């Protein structure tokens, strides 16, 4: 978990001009750039397979500009296998998903692998 790296990765998708942020390593400046680029815009950010549950302050700092956006319909979706991560970054109750049972999985696999 590195909030500077994650902020840079988010900026890659929201900035039209990479020169706006590419030579900046100061986290606060990067966050300001991010805030300026998402202000008054709707977004969906998916953070897949997150594991960091020891740095609550890092999560708070990373998500601050995203949570400050006043536009309705913005969402940060984090997937994790760790209940502690879900509780730490969650603003709503976690949604637990279970896997497919063996029969359903086999039908799904056959359909993907071999078609009809």
Whole domain around residue 45: which residue ranges?
3-114
Query: What percent of the chain has a predicted confidence (pLDDT) above 90?
Result: 39
Would you state the torsion angle of the CA atoms of residues 46, 74, 91, 3, taken in this order, to the nearest 10 degrees?
A: 50
Do 11 and 65 form a contact (C-beta atoms < 8 A)? no
| Closest to 10 in 3D by CA, of 35, 81, 40 | 35
Q: Residue 47: beta bridge partners?
A: 78
Number of domains into which the chain is organized: 1
For 17-61, write each residue's pLDDT tens digit. 999 999 999 999 999 999 999 988 999 989 898 888 888 888 889
Do 61 and 31 form a contact (C-beta atoms < 8 A)? yes
pTM of the shown model: 0.73
Distance CA 4, CA 11 (A): 10
Per-residue model confidence (pLDDT) at position 91: 65
């Amino acid at each position: 978990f590195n909030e500077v790296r994650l902020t840079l990765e988010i900026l890659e998708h929201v900035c039209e001009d990479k020169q706006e942020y590419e030579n900046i390593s100061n986290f606060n400046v990067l966050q300001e750039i991010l805030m300026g680029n998402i202000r008054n815009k709707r977004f969906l950010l998916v953070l897949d397979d997150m594991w960091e549950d020891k740095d609550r302050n890092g999560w708070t700092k990373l998500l601050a500009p995203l949570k400050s956006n006043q536009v309705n319909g913005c969402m940060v979706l984090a997937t994790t296998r760790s209940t502690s991560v879900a509780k730490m970054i969650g603003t709503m109750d976690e949604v637990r998903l279970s896997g497919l049972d063996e029969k359903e999985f086999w039908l799904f696999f056959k359909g993907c692998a071999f078609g009809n």
